[in-house]
Amino acid sequence: MLLSTTDEIPGFRITEYKGLVFGITVRSRGMGGDCAAGCQSCAGGEVSAYTSVVLDSRNEALNRMVADAQTRGANAIVGIRIDNDQLGQGANTGVVAMGTAVVVTNM
């Protein structure tokens, strides 16, 4: 599966549009992770506990988007956008990956 944030992929021609595809996930560190992250944030610098949650969430959302595109018969996704936000009062991270599923061929 070819993935691109642009609307085209150099060297390929879009021959068919399969529609909007997306992947969504919401993750939390849990109470123990929040406490550890709170202690780490007091010292300053990167809060690796939260970095891990955001990275895992992004990867899961991308994987779900790719699975959606595969069920539609696409071999590429163009115009990919990723959005994330904190949900609720805890450290719940919601991530949405979206793009347009297409069929491409070599030029």
Residue-wise pLDDT for 27-52, tens only, equals 876 655 555 555 555 566 777 777 88
Q: Residue 6: give its domain's CATH number.
A: 3.30.110.70
Residue-wise pLDDT for 48-70, tens only, equals 777 888 889 999 999 999 999 99
Containing structural domain, residue 81: 2-106
Q: Name the domain count of the chain.
A: 1
By the 10 Å C-beta count (0-12 exposed, 13-18 middle, 19+ buried), 51 is classed as exposed
Structure token pair of residue 95:
């991530």
**pTM here?**
0.80
